[in-house]
Amino acid sequence: SLPQYMVPSAFHWRRRLPLTDNSKIDRKALTALAGELDVAEQDRDRPSTPTEHWLAAAWAKALSIPKEQIGRRDQFFELGGTSLSALRLAIALDRAVSVKDLADHPILADLATLVDDRSVQPQKAASEPLPSS
- Do 34 and 67 share a structural domain? no
C-alpha of 120 from chain center: 23
User: What share of the chain has pLDDT > 90, as a percent?
Assistant: 50
- 125 within a domain of the structure (yes/no): no
If asked whether residues 37 and 94 sit together in one domain, one would say: no
CA distance 133 to 125: 18
**Co-location of 66 and 110 in the same domain:** yes
Question: pTM score, two decimals?
Answer: 0.61
Q: Are residues 28 and 61 in the same domain?
A: no
**Are the CB atoms for 108 and 52 separated by under 8 Å?**
yes
Judge whether 3 lies within some domain: no
Are residue 54 and residue 37 in the same domain, yes or no?
no
Counting the structural domains of the chain, the total is 2
CATH number at residue 100: 1.10.1200.10
Residue 126 inside a domain? The answer is no
Domain assignment of residue 20, given as a range: 14-43
User: How much is the pLDDT for 63?
Assistant: 92
In this model, does residue 84 exceed pLDDT 80? yes
Alpha carbon distance 93, 22 (integer Å): 49
Residue 85 lies in a domain: yes
Q: pLDDT per residue over 7-18, tens digit each? A: 776 777 788 889
Q: Are residues 33 and 88 in the same domain?
A: no
- Whether residue 29 is found in the same domain as residue 88: no
> Can you tell me the mean pLDDT for 75-84?
92
- Span 98-113, pLDDT tens digits: 999 999 999 999 999 9
